[in-house]
Amino acid sequence: MESKEQIWEKLRDAYKKSITLPFCDKVNAYMMCLHWNSSIFKDKTGLAKDAYRRIYRNDKNYKNPEKDTVMAICVGLGLDYRLAVDLLQSVEHALSPFSNKVDEAYEYILLELHGQPLEVCNQELIRRGIDPLGAKEYKPDKIGKIAIL
């Protein structure tokens, strides 16, 4: 099994190689480094396997995913702030933490909850009154079905 340092080194190398690549290519490079398949993608991001398929096949119609979808991918991949911002910018999303509470929460997740599982990040979003990340069919109830950590 690879150490955390080895995984980070692979992600950094993938970032250096993908800096000018489009969104799907970047995500594919990161997923390849982590040996992800569609099941791991679904478990880590809370997104449907269809999102994985569209990214994996580099679907030309999947050029502008929603910001919350990109954030779910960033959290699932465990990307640090810099890599996450680069991925967001690759589909023309930016974080504006001083202008809205959603972006403020997303920035908090990337900076303070980096490396935490999606469930922990979603609990923080729910605490702030923001919809959790992930596909609707995988989102936990807002009435407390996420375990209190």
pLDDT tens digits, 96-141: 988 899 999 999 999 999 999 999 999 999 999 999 999 755 445 4
pLDDT reported for residue 17:
63
Q: Is residue 26 part of a domain?
A: yes
> Own/partner pairs for 114-117, CB < 8 Å, 24+ apart?
114/78, 114/80, 114/81, 115/78, 116/75, 117/44
pLDDT reported for residue 68:
96
Q: Is residue 41 part of a domain?
A: yes
Mean pLDDT of 52-75: 91
Q: Is residue 9 part of a domain?
A: yes
The pLDDT of residue 53 is above 50? yes
Q: Is residue 39 part of a domain?
A: yes
The pLDDT of residue 43 is above 70? yes
pLDDT reported for residue 55:
94
8-17, 56-65, 70-79, 82-91: segment of lowest average pLDDT = 8-17
* Tokens read off for 68: 């919350």
The pLDDT confidence band at residue 62, using thresholds 50, 70 and 90, is: confident
Mean pLDDT of 69-87: 95
Contact indicator for 141, 121 with CB cutoff of 8 Å: no
Q: Is residue 75 part of a domain?
A: yes
Q: Is residue 143 part of a domain?
A: no
Q: How many domains does the chain have?
A: 1
Q: Is residue 117 part of a domain?
A: yes
Which residue range(s) make up the domain with 25? 4-138
